[in-house]
Structure 1
């Protein structure tokens, strides 16, 4: 087992020897969470300990397109200069489905002067974590990631359907928390858990969620950067396992009409590094000022951060009334209808669950953004609204209803730009505007159905 501390190259080489690794997948997460990079022979990886890729590789849209003009090029040089990639040895893991002994290693992106590329997702999360570190604190997170299993679908014009399980039938009704419904896909999940075990991923429980074919995996709480790496790797893993069982796994926020969307709920707290105390609780066990200020920060800044939590046009289909997703920024204790839930817990485990984030969000960007909102709340001593004790689905919408609206809010929020990095916000919003423009070129079945002969 390799030490998960970074920059331990001697131990990495020993680990590669022990596992007889012959190839290395050198990975860089881009803004969409896609794994970019190169595959190198072991010897080449050992000799170079890094590689180069164009800057734009981590700064493209989900369609592979780039902006052609505008502020994007105030950050990214039009000459398409190189990034210098350095492996993080603590991220090295076996690729369990590879035919030859293969390792995967996540890389950080640097410029020629040795500075982190500010718009690379891993750099953004590092930047936010450093704010907590400078204050003597350590943020702690625990994601709960939902996803759908669907039948193979090679035609994007055909709606997705639940896959066929061991019984030879597909689900036609909702099976929340059903053990038997999970057991329908035992062969698949046996592979998923075997892969996760080989990769030393920090996964906890698996449950069947509300939707037909919808599952949820929970991760043990840990430091945000390591957990973002694990979510990134888990998505690759479950997709690969699903393909091997003749189905797809999708993390789309709303893949099937009439079914609930998929979220990435993130539990978060902050620990004092000297005392080990959860700063959300006072010595007498009562909620601290920091606890309430953190909530205040989420309420104040999450609407402006929605383009980071709901990054695609599809994301906003999930955020609908009575669709098992929040529509506002209320907070409450043990209340799943609000945007920010405080689970019942011992004082040492007091935490806030951000229920707004979609499963389609880049884990590095989403964790950076939610922590930045809470950090700003503490720094600015933002008092939250009173605790909401009823059904928040009955309230008014307090979140943007579209990606275009969300991007406008993000552009106008100077505090978030300072916390996440102005270069990142510039690149991100420009890329997302390009995606919106691409989407608007597509005529949907709904438009043909209702407008073709009626208007």
Structure 2
């Protein structure tokens, strides 16, 4: 949608906005774009960015030249970015009155850019729409608060709270431990309210100074936009209080990893009924097929849920994270959990995605896997009642290299997400892995320096 729609112009004027951050999400989930004076933003109705923006790695590097020029135009041209008025947010922490507006991306012929994570999610949602279905999602975002440090070689520490002490031990669901950071969270809640972010409860998670924010359920694209904005909001609120908020999947040795659990259900567009429940309130065939799709196809989509080398540290043994695609009712040791609910609210919780995942791609992957199960009428394995951590079947790839290879060879993923996206995404993962391998770790210096 263009910025010449009266809604966004009036909104910018009513809020006395002077600057607009025009952003797109790259494959990692980093906000990239331009900061524009509001008058220029309104006059131009969009912006242009180099195609290469979407092939940057988390380090800012690009994929190897041969692949780079096979995926992008050899002249390194721009793509066209158009603002989405439904994805406009106030930025409460800036001195100037500033808005953030998420943009959609198109080529010169007006076709959606295939490498855009937001377009990938839209493509999956279109598949559901064609079947008369509407997905509903509710993410849970885990993250750590840590003391600020300028030395990346130093282990992270919990920040000092109101009591003047660092948190020690594990304080799952502790109200007092969460209240140690009350001033920070008061700002976070105020800023989220100012931006219209639909956040719900705050929970102290299992790790030391590890927290979780739950989002209310809603439209997947709208919720993904909100999570994209929330991660930045949380980091800004932490910095204001001289603290770091990190969404790394495994930032602290011997502490649990941070996940982005995705609750998902499917409504019938015409009736508004949850298709996961049959007339009598029991699990429907579509629910079972959706679960089976997650079991079948998530292993081929894992790089979208666990995108970094660090992501797979969360899947190590005894790390409180499921490493399987088993499913069960109220079973948190399964990768797929059916929470207790009324038939109207029946849903499945995908517990595999890391907090470090690009939210657009993680939601797209989770919904695509379920969709394939529904259209193929798949059937899941029997639900698990007991501990699923130690089960050897239905396990996931345990390294990014293995996960990328599995995704690369998946004909179904290529069929639905496109060769250009798959090749481009895999290329950025491989570039990051190569970059990682060049770094000598503190473990190597500690144990090998004088011993070998």
The bucket for the TM-score relative to the shorter chain is over 0.9
Pick from 146, 155, 158 the counterpart of residue 162 of structure 1. 158
- List per-residue Cα deviations over 1:258-299 (Å, max 9, x = no partner): 100000000001000001111111111111111111111111
Q: Which moved more, 1:6-15 or 1:33-42?
A: 6-15
- List per-residue Cα deviations over 1:143-162 (Å, max 9, x = no partner): 00000000001111111110
- Is 1:206 the counterpart of 2:202 in the alignment? yes
- C-alpha displacement at 1:70, in angstroms? 4.0
- List per-residue Cα deviations over 1:38-93 (Å, max 9, x = no partner): 01111100101101000111221101111123444322123211010000001111
- Is 1:351 the counterpart of 2:344 in the alignment? no
- Is 1:230 the counterpart of 2:248 in the alignment? no
SS in 1 for 2:212: strand
Partner residue of 1:93? 89
Q: Is the 8 A contact 1:277 1:348 kept in 2?
A: yes
Structure-2 separation of matches of 1:287 and 1:321: 32
Pick from 135, 141, 145 the counterpart of residue 141 of structure 2. 145
- C-alpha displacement at 1:198, in angstroms? 0.3
- Is 1:196 the counterpart of 2:192 in the alignment? yes
- C-alpha displacement at 1:362, in angstroms? 0.2
Which 5+ residue runs of structure 1 have no aligned equivalent?
none
Partner residue of 2:22? 26
Q: Is the 8 A contact 1:143 1:267 kept in 2?
A: yes
SS in 2 for 1:145: strand
- List per-residue Cα deviations over 1:82-111 (Å, max 9, x = no partner): 010000001111110111111110001100
SS in 2 for 1:393: coil
Q: Which moved more, 1:9-18 or 1:261-270?
A: 9-18
Structure 1 runs (4+) greater than 4 angstroms displaced = 5-8
Partner residue of 2:282? 286
- Is 1:395 the counterpart of 2:391 in the alignment? yes
Partner residue of 2:245? 249
Structure-2 separation of matches of 1:231 and 1:291: 26
Pick from 245, 261, 268 the counterpart of residue 264 of structure 2. 268
Q: How does 1:51-450 map to 2 (within 5 A)?
A: 51-396=47-392, 398-450=395-447
Structure-2 separation of matches of 1:259 and 1:161: 11
- List per-residue Cα deviations over 1:394-444 (Å, max 9, x = no partner): 222711111111100000111112222221111000111010011011111
- C-alpha displacement at 1:317, in angstroms? 0.5
SS in 2 for 1:14: helix
SS in 2 for 1:86: strand
- List per-residue Cα deviations over 1:314-345 (Å, max 9, x = no partner): 00010122211001111000000000000111
Structure-1 separation of matches of 2:66 and 2:334: 38
Structure-1 separation of matches of 2:317 and 2:2: 44
- List per-residue Cα deviations over 1:169-221 (Å, max 9, x = no partner): 01111000000011100000000000001000010000100000100000000
SS in 1 for 2:203: strand
Structure-1 separation of matches of 2:150 and 2:180: 23
Q: Is the 8 A contact 2:64 2:431 kept in 1?
A: no
- C-alpha displacement at 1:7, in angstroms? 7.2
Alpha-carbon RMSD: 1.2
